[in-house]
Amino acid sequence: MSAGTSAGVPAVVDRAREGDGLGERTLALMRDLFPLCRSLTGDGVRETLRILRRDLPLEIHEVPTGTPVFDWTVPEEWNIRAAHITGPDGRRIVDLRDSPLHVVSYSEPVDARMSLKELLPHLHSLPDEPDLIPYRTSYWARTWGFCLAHRTLRQLTDGEYRVVIDSTLRPGHLTYGELELPGERDEEILITTYVCHPSLANDNVSGIAMAAMLARELSGRRLRRRHRFLFAPATIGPLTWLAASRDRWATIHSGFTVACIGDDGPLTYKRTRDGNAELDLAAEVALRDAGIAHRLVDFEPWGGDERQFSSPGFGLRFGALSRTAHAAYPGNHTSADDLPRIRPDALQASLHACLGLVDALEGNGTWRNLSPFGEPQLGRRGLYDSAGGKVGRGDERALLWVLNQSDGTRSLLEIARRSQLPFATVQRAAQRLRDAELLAELA
Ligand code: ZN
């Protein structure tokens, strides 16, 4: 017997437990995306979006270098073909071909011979984690550098080193992808993730794949609100989109980022700036109903792109969905953030939680009891069937909760929270009461 027939457990858990293959499919997409040398701009981002376009009709935007974006400017475009260091004995010490992490992102080109003393300031390692390669960027300061395991660095001896970074840093474009799923209302939910990190599995190949899978699952569905997906480099990406979409700000109902969502830590929802948005309630109820370990944390202007959308000038309600947040993930921003640490069942549960959140927002509404003078006779209308069968106790209680609370001031999500009943049960009760002409939704 599936757990979904009892009052306390929602259908979403059933789907996740049955194993619908969505976790494996998300992981397969991650494997395709993982090796690419992504950065703030350049062909790594384009190739990432091209892979996503196999399944999603993403619109690709190219914004020229030098475009002003609020207090920022779209930077020069960076591309890289090769990067390596050869030691005095002719041996390759590091090579970009082994991992995109080996080169500091946005390194300017170099082709030189130098002593170890001259080379060392350009080498980055982690003395406390001698086997791991760190991830480093230098987007806004011109320099070059390599990242390598400290164990390798320690073995370097005096002598002449050949250093090659075959990169280009010149006027080009910032690239981002956008997908719009139409809805019935002129109101939208914005779901974003960042595409600027190279071969790091949880941060953020998991977020890219998760947002893409969520978009896939929602494609073709009849949606009340428009759902827009944005795949853009961190910080400058959302700001570039926001600058180009001023006419859309007013129609954004709310939005959330999806990132770092493939590990096995508890699902974590970070509330919007004011913490009292419909999105916040939807996340609280959806994560509760998902029946898995989760945390709700308050907003702070630190973390991912939610802090850009939550800036006072935009006035947007923006949350963030992750598992173990960014900086708290062991091995974050190192080669330890590798694919073998990602489990398909964690991905599957994350995807179902994302779907549950969207369902909660889509299904919410405020209703009015059309027969508010005492309880209407449910049995006479075929709504009350304590003999069991199709209707369980949870369904009957949900009918009474919805009738009692629907005075036009409380939403279905509020009723689901207060009654401790799954949102799907409360929603189903409202639909049945509507069909019996006992309830009407407020416009
Ligand atoms: Zn990161």
What residue spans define the domains of the chain?
A: 22-74+173-363, 78-170, 366-441
| 366-441 fold | Arc Repressor Mutant, subunit A (1.10.10)
Measured in angstroms, how far is the CA atom of residue 203 from the centroid of ligand 1?
5
- Centre of ligand 1 to C-alpha 136, Å, is 10
CB–CB of 152/324 below 8 Å? no
pLDDT for 105 beyond 50: yes
**Which of the pair, 384 or 205, is modelled with greater confidence?**
205
Measured in angstroms, how far is the CA atom of residue 396 from the centroid of ligand 1? 47
207 CA distance to ligand 1 centroid (A)?
11
The answer, yes or no, to whether residue 3 has pLDDT greater than 80, is: no
Q: Hey, which residues does 351 pair with through a beta bridge?
A: none
Rounded to the nearest angstrom, the distance between the alpha carbon of 328 and the centre of ligand 1 is 11
Q: Does 364 sit behind a cis peptide bond, omega within 30 degrees of 0 on the bond before it?
A: no
**From ligand 1's centre to the CA of 140, what distance in Å?**
16
> At CA 281, angle to CA 219 and CA 231, rounded to 5?
40
C-alpha to C-alpha distances, 229 to 138, 179, 381, nearest whole angstrom:
27, 5, 43
Cα 374 to averaged position of ligand 1 atoms, centre (Å): 56
Ligand 1 center from residue 317 Cα (angstroms) = 23
Confidence (pLDDT) at 68 = 97
- Distance from Cα 74 to the centre of ligand 1, integer Å: 20
Region 401-426: mean pLDDT is 97
* Residue 251 CA to ligand 1 centre (angstroms): 30
- CA 101 to ligand 1 centroid distance, Å: 13
Q: 204 CA distance to ligand 1 centroid (A)?
A: 7
What is the pLDDT at residue 1?
Answer: 30
Under 8 Å between Cβ of 213 and 53 = no
Distance 70 CA to ligand 1 centre (A): 23
* Mean pLDDT across 329-350: 93
Q: What is the pLDDT of residues 129-154, one digit of tens each?
A: 999 999 999 999 999 999 999 999 99
Query: What is the amino acid identity at position 443?
Result: A
Residue 206 pLDDT greater than 50, yes or no: yes
Report how far ligand 1's centroid is from the alpha carbon of 234 (Å).
9
Query: What is the second-level CATH architecture of the domain 78-170?
Result: 3-Layer(bba) Sandwich (3.50)
- DSSP letter at 66 equals T
User: pLDDT: is 26 or 443 the higher one?
Assistant: 26
Stretch among 120-124, 150-154, 176-180, 260-264 having the lowest mean pLDDT: 260-264
- The tokens describing 427, both together, are 């929603």
**What pLDDT shows up at residue 11?**
41
The CATH class of the 22-74+173-363 domain is alpha beta
Q: How far is the CA of 104 from the centre of ligand 1 (A)?
A: 14
**In angstroms, what is the span from residue 57 Cα to ligand 1's centroid?**
27
Q: Distance between CA atoms of 65 and 62, rounded to whole angstroms? A: 9
Give residue for tokens 């900086």. 327
Q: According to the model, what pLDDT value does residue 390 have?
A: 55
Cβ(283)–Cβ(357) under 8 Å? yes
Cα(194) to ligand 1 centroid in Å equals: 9
Ligand 1 centroid to residue 333 C-alpha, Å: 6
- The CA 90 to ligand 1 mean position distance, Å, reads 34
Residue the block writes with tokens 């790594």:
44
Cα(407) to centroid(ligand 1), Å? 46
pLDDT tier at 6, thresholds 50, 70, 90: very low
335 Cα: distance to centroid of ligand 1 (angstroms)? 12
- Distance (angstroms) between ligand 1 centre and the Cα of 327 equals 8
Q: Ligand 1 mean position to 202 CA, how many Å? A: 9
Q: How far is the CA of 404 from the centre of ligand 1 (A)?
A: 47
Distance from Cα 52 to the centre of ligand 1, integer Å: 20
Sheet holding 366-369, edge to edge: 407-411, 366-369, 439-441
393 and 407 Cβ atoms separated by less than 8 Å:
no
